[in-house]
Chain A
Amino acid sequence: MTRQEILDELKKVISPYTTNKELLAGITEETDLIKDLKINSANLVDIIIDAEAKYNIEIDYDSADKMINVGTCMDVISEKINERG
């Protein structure tokens, strides 16, 4: 998957958990999940589980720690897709 394809799919994963659809449409790699998209921390696990299902990957604790903004989410997803082969 290209980075753009990962971003497009990631928007769909995040969408149910943010009410700020306008910002979601224009997210950048610097967009913070909690501070900018106002996603409740209780939904971060949902996003990780949904991303695992969407990309058929497994995200371990240490990788999940890095998923703070859109760019780091894409890095982790990309890394896990590559590991999966």
Chain B
Amino acid sequence: MISAGNDIVSLTATNVTRTKSPEFYSKIISPAEKALFDTLDQEVLPFHRFVWLLWSVKESAFKYLHRLDPNIVFTPVKFEVNSIAVPPFYSYTESGTEEITGAGFGDLPVFNATVVFAGKKLFSRIIIHYEFVSSVVNHTEDFNEIYWGIKRIGNTSYKYQSAAVRDFALVKLREVSGRDNISFHKNENDVPILLCHDKLMETPISLSHHGQWIAFSFQNPVIAKSSPSASL
């Protein structure tokens, strides 16, 4: 069940007042998740950030599972986040973050969450910065083989975001795999796939962009198979 799922939300591109309105958040979070919020330290995780944390985790989980089962539909309230652990001594990073990459999350101050959809449980690691919420999910709690990156960009047009996140991910892919000539394509379900010298790579990858932020995550191993199955 190896897949990849990530998401990034630019908090500066969200509407704080609207997010706090029940008409809005009730489309994203369930009553049980609202009850979960009431158990958390709200100075550490104000409601606006809580809602977008949940959105991000749910979107990541959807991407992870949709790659495996293209028939899955994204209904946010049906992806239920049932635990959130706040990192010790947590405080927001207000500035200085332009680009971060990693393999696993080591000692980084990340939030841990679990999310369940149709009986399938996934684990998530979330970085909350002053300007963004970014999440990655996995089917186990071991994230050491998951490579990820987050970067600020200067142009928020869709075309630029889309190209920038691919270029950003390719740098890490080349570094990890030791191969160049890697290219992005999409399969018949509009899911991103990777080819290396026209051979399909067994490297599930997930891309996300919102506002001035782009992010990727992918799983090792990087192994080329014999035949491509891409819509080129």
Q: Which residues of A contact B (CB under 8 A)?
A: 19-20, 35, 38, 40-42, 45-46, 48-49, 52, 61-62, 64-65
Contacts and interface: CB of A to CB of B under 8 A. Distances in A.
Interface residues of B, number: 21
Nearest to B56: A42
B92 interface: no
Interface of B: 9, 13-15, 18, 23-24, 27-28, 55, 59, 73-78, 157-158, 190, 210
Contacts of B24: 45-46, 49
A65 B18 contact: no
Contacts of B78: 61
Contact of B75 (A19, A40, A65): A65
A82 B23 CA distance: 21
A45 B28 contact: yes
A19 B27 CA distance: 24
B210 A49 contact: no
B74 A35 contact: no
Given A19-B158, A46-B18, A48-B27, A65 B9 contact: no
Contacts of A65: 73-75
Given A42-B13, A45-B24, A52-B23, 19 more contacts: A19-B157, A19-B158, A20-B158, A40-B210, A41-B74, A42-B9, A42-B14, A42-B55, A42-B59, A46-B15, A46-B24, A48-B27, A49-B18, A49-B23, A49-B24, A49-B27, A61-B75, A61-B77, A65-B73
Contact of B190 (A35, A40, A49, A52): A35
27 contacts: A20-B158, A35-B190, A40-B210, A41-B59, A41-B74, A42-B9, A42-B13, A42-B55, A42-B59, A42-B210, A45-B24, A45-B28, A45-B76, A46-B15, A46-B18, A46-B24, A48-B27, A49-B18, A49-B23, A49-B27, A52-B23, A61-B27, A61-B75, A61-B78, A64-B75, A65-B74, A65-B75
